[in-house]
Amino acid sequence: MFQRVNKVPLYVVASLLFGIKTYIVYRFLFNIELDNMMQEIILFINPFVSAFLVFAISVWLKEERQMKFIRYATLLGSFIIYFNLIFYRNFTDFLTIPVLFQGSNAADLGSSILALIYPGDILLFLDVVIIWYLSKKYKNTFIVSYQKRKKALAFSLSIAFLLGNYILAEIERPQLLQRTFDREYLVKNIGIFNYHVYDVVQQSKSKAQRVFADGNELTEIKAYMKDNTTDQSETDLAGVAKDKNLIFISLESLQSFVINNTLHDEEVTPFLNDLIDESYYFENFYHQTEQGKTSDSEFLVETGLYPLPSGAVFFTHGQNEYNSTSELLKDNGYTSSVLHANNKSFWNRDVMYDNLGIDQFYDIDAYEVTDENSIGWGLKDKPFFEQSIKYLQSLPEPYYSRFITLTNHYPFDLAEEDATIDKFDSNSKTLNQYFQTVRYMDESIKDFFDQLKESGEYENSIIVMMGDHYGISDFHDKAMAQYLDKEKITPYDHIQLQRVPFIVHIPGEKGKTISEIGGQIDVKPTLMHILGIDDSNDLSFGTNLFSEKRKEFVALRDGSFISNDYIYTKDQCFNRETGELIVSDQEDSEDNGEKTIDSHCEPIKEKVQQELTYSDQIIYGDLFRFHDFQNKNLESEENEKEQQ
């Protein structure tokens, strides 16, 4: 049989098989949106372009090495695709180099990883089996001694295909490689393997930024912050919680769609629903995390800077200089602590917390964890809060203590005896179980409030609660649409699902629901405002959420944004109130009074990209080492030497 195809080199066969497999993954296993026929064509050809580029290298090898190269290239490429698929099933995102360096977290993921592996995944390695079989069984048939002309032809075709792919991608998406906030666009247009090469280049460039930074970049950034971010004007709530303890609860994976909502005619979060009636509740508050998830939300709250577009700042830049919430509070007599029943090294917290000036970290070693009181990621929330009260009582006042919950974490497992609401019924096990763990967390918060009151910690404290990031990714859109009684989840709906609860409970204050937009970047200046702490020398991209003078947008890490009037995502501009897509006739290039999508959203989009870029510059360049947060600005070392 294969004697007839001995003129077809194995690298061509491997390119076809691997390209078909990759396209199937792109088209049916990744949730990649395709808006037109051009995108369909590009998505179809780029797997074959990448495969041919790699496998054609074999023509330059000696005959005995050709088969070995193709076999192992196929295996390695398959693992790259599969690891991306597992990551995508949880985060709807693609792996980056910094994420790979966070491999120390993998040992703690446990059931989360197992829940992402499906039996049918074995079929993704079918082409590997075929290639190994052909290269072993018909070795003499497929080994070819290539002439220089054929080697040059294979190389030329590889480059031509690559350039052709890139030209089509640029036509479809101008300045593709300059728009790095959205990894889906890169994978969709140049393929997952070329995306990884691009990622390596970008990470290498970012590593070099600190070496060449001299602090002069801060001048422009500080001017921007002064004009566009934190507002120092007084409000009725300025200093309302002065000298009170600050208890901050990070609500794991809690999204706002469950607040004041029901399942099976039961409230999903009955306690939080009642609590927001006597608290300040921000109903249009958005998480702004990226690949660092919970650690990114911590970073936002502590620094007022955005997380990085890839990886987790806690890992990649844990040794940088920051001016944290903990340090600001320490300067005003507070002690700080974090309570989290997980390994201290997870997300590099032991290193990062020390750098942020956090006085005490109560990690898993501070808790009694047994098989009975733990599930999934560890200690259940109810025993976690119960065991934590003694630590609060031991802290000198005033204190700032952050609690990080665990139970409402993917894959949302819960023991049957702990479930007090029935599961949802959909095609998504993840969403079905989510409501039960959310209810359990709600009950644990209720118990914690009772414990605070019984222990005497309640009256002299304010309790702030915030959802740290989404729990249900758009990988589960079909089930989410079923729950929300929608035909489908649109890009507009996806952005609205990034809302997370932000609740400020001040005993003795009536509170109210606030509808203005806000985000996690705004938490730091908001806390400083109600605690009556001067943060005039702080550098932050946040805005005091109680002020009437606010920034006009909330920026998400992928470049999407929410403004007072519009929502922008995936190159589409929506009316924020109605969800209607803003479309124009675009009749001609002259001003005919018709507004295009860009004329509505482009001005804000430019500001969003500028702000995200400024934040990246601060982190990559470690620019805060050139600023004295206690007094005046410091010049760069070179300028100091000149003055001397």
> Catalytic site residues?
294
- Asked if residue 573 lies in contact with residue 600, where contact means CB atoms within 8 angstroms, the answer is yes
- The whole-angstrom separation of Cα 168 and Cα 569 is 22
SS (H, E, C) 137-160: HCHHHHCCCCCHHHHHHHHHHHHH
CA gap 615, 306 in Å, rounded: 6
DSSP string, 398-443: SEEEEEE--SS-TT----GGG--SPPP-SS-HHHHHHHHHHHHHHH
Pairing of strands 245-251, 461-467: parallel
Exposed, middle or buried, 276 (CB in 10 Å: 0-12/13-18/19+)? buried
Nearest to 118, CA basis, from 220, 213, 25: 25
The number of beta carbons lying within 10 Å of the beta carbon of residue 43 is 19
Residue 248, beta-bridge partner list: 402, 464
Using only C-alpha atoms, what is the Rg of the chain?
27
Cβ count within 10 A of residue 437: 29
- DSSP label at 416? G
- The CA distance from 51 to 44, in Å, is 12
Q: Are strands 553-555 and 561-563 parallel, antiparallel or unpaired?
A: antiparallel
Helix (H) or strand (E) holding 555: strand 553-555
DSSP state of 345: T
CA 24 to chain CA centroid, Å, is: 26
Q: Could you give the 3-state DSSP secondary structure of residue 568? A: strand
Q: Which two tokens stand for residue 125?
A: 């390695």
Query: What's the N-to-C CA distance of the chain in angstroms?
Result: 83
* CA atoms lying within 13 Å on the CB side of residue 42: 28
* Partners of residue 262 on adjacent β-strands: 267
Task: Give 155's Cβ-side CA count (13 Å radius).
Answer: 10
Which helix or strand (DSSP H or E) is residue 387 part of? helix 381-394
Residue closest to 229 by CA, chosen among 528, 549, 602, 617: 549
d(CA 120, CA 251): 34
Query: How would you write 451-513 as a 3-class SS string?
Result: HHHHHCCCCCEEEEEEECCCCCCHHHHHHHHHHHCCCCCCHHHHHHCCECCEEEECCCCCCEE
The Cα 30–Cα 48 span in angstroms is 17
> Which residue, among 522, 499, 465, has the nearest Cα to 304 in the 3D structure?
522
Q: From CA 440, how far away is CA 455, in angstroms rounded?
A: 22
What is the rounded CA–CA span in Å between residue 455 and residue 461?
12
Helical axes 192-212 vs 63-91, angle rounded to 10°? 80
Closest CA to 46 of 195, 199, 189, 173: 189
DSSP state of 558: T
